[in-house]
Amino acid sequence: MNTETPASAAGTGTVLDGIIAGVREDLQARRAEVPLAELRARVADVPLALDGLAALRGGRDDAAGVRIISEVKRSSPSKGSLAEIPDPAELARAYQAGGASAVSVLTERRRFAGSLADLDAVRAAVDLPVLRKDFMVDEYQFLEARAHGADLVLLIVAALDDTRLRDFLALTHELGMEALVEAHTEEEISRAVDVGARIVGVNVRNLKTLDVDVAHYGTMARHLPDDVVRIAESGVDGPDVVADYASRGADAVLVGEALVRDGDPAAALGRFRAASRS
């Protein structure tokens, strides 16, 4: 499999382009420490992945409210430091207690202050599906994700051409995982659906400019087919936004900043889910 992503796929001179350049540098250092053959052997020894698709499906029609993917997120390119999170496992357990359907863990180091160690800690702490949230541009990262216990990975349509998007989705499924395929435009949604994505997210934060428009989910949601799991990503600053996403057909909502900055994330989760039922 050719895993090189051309600069044109990520956009020239964008924030996303710069992030991916750093991801590639860090990836080479990890590859030098753990060869691909060793990583494959580790994958063979981990338990089977949990069913992330089932965990996120059906939030629109469930009396319990929309599903929430709760995120372990220390920092972001747009906001800088969000929370120290000295114990990701403790935070993940609070998420599970509050009714999260899955936990997302940022593993990108330079802009999000994440790590695979955070992924390990969360995986050991909860029995929910865990999403490795990173900028996936190489086969090695998918094997890493599974070796560290991830059940889902993130595929960003804007960062991949159609061949790599299709190949990486196939590799994800071969490894027993599911992919949250993230789009921002109607054209990107179409590309995600065309390659067979089963979980499609609409990110209301444009990763090329970092601008946020929460109304963008409603504009894009009409282009999502009924047979995919629909995820609303970003922009949540309170229960009203979660309720709006749910009213526009989201099965699940990914929430990071609003939870890591809340002194009681379990209670915040309860408020978010309750708002989506009203």
Which residues are known to be catalytic? 71, 73, 133, 182, 203, 233-234
Compute the distance between CA of residue 63 and CA of residue 274 in angstroms, rounded to an integer. Answer: 10
Q: Is residue 228 helix, strand or coil?
A: coil
> Is 87 exposed, middle or buried, given 0-12, 13-18 or 19+ CB atoms closer than 10 A?
exposed
Q: Is residue 181 helix, strand or coil?
A: strand
Compute the distance between CA of residue 52 and CA of residue 132 in angstroms, rounded to an integer. Answer: 12
Is 111 within 8 Å of 134 (Cβ atoms)?
A: no
- Residue 58 gets which letter from DSSP? T
Neighbours of 21 (CB within 10 A): 13
Residue 68 is which amino acid? I
